Amino acid sequence: MGRFGIGLRGSYGKPGLTATGGGLTITDKTSGQLIELATLVAVRVGGIGPSGAVRADLGPALHLWKFGDDIRARIGALGGVAYDWPVAGRFSGAIRLEGTVSKSWFEPGDLPPEYHLRLTWRYGVTLGLRYRL
């Protein structure tokens, strides 16, 4: 839509579970699933070269965390910056940096009192091919 855009995104991953304390970090990559649904508002903030575009986007995200039979929903925020360049016709290449934050998967009574709940941060880099409608 010209300078502005709207996007819907769904993703699935197996992030695992990490515990840190006393100089030790333990990560179990075999447990847990995450389904993320996000609505993004994007704006073109500039360009690089004659036809490339730099875009920034931001929006709310619904995270559905599943460990065993327990499913917990969290509302978070997702933001990113992408560089798009034309490839052919309606196709363009894209490289994207993004980050998301949401409340901890755990509830206050789930852990012993000496543990502190933290926000859940995720970040990523994507290289892809886009098709513009």
* pLDDT of 1 strictly over 60: no
Q: How many independent structural domains does the chain possess? A: 1
pLDDT on residue 60: 97
> What span, in angstroms and rounded, lies between the C-alpha atoms of 130 and 45?
18
| Of 77, 80, 9, residue with least CA distance to 42 | 80
Q: pLDDT tens for residues 74-87?
A: 999 999 999 989 89
Q: pLDDT tens for residues 16-66?
A: 777 788 889 988 888 888 899 999 999 999 888 777 889 999 999 999 988
Q: Quick one: what percent of the chain has pLDDT higher than 90?
A: 43
Mean pLDDT over 124-130 rounds to: 91
Retrieve residue 108's tokens.
Answer: 């206050």
- Residue 44: give the domain boundaries: 4-131
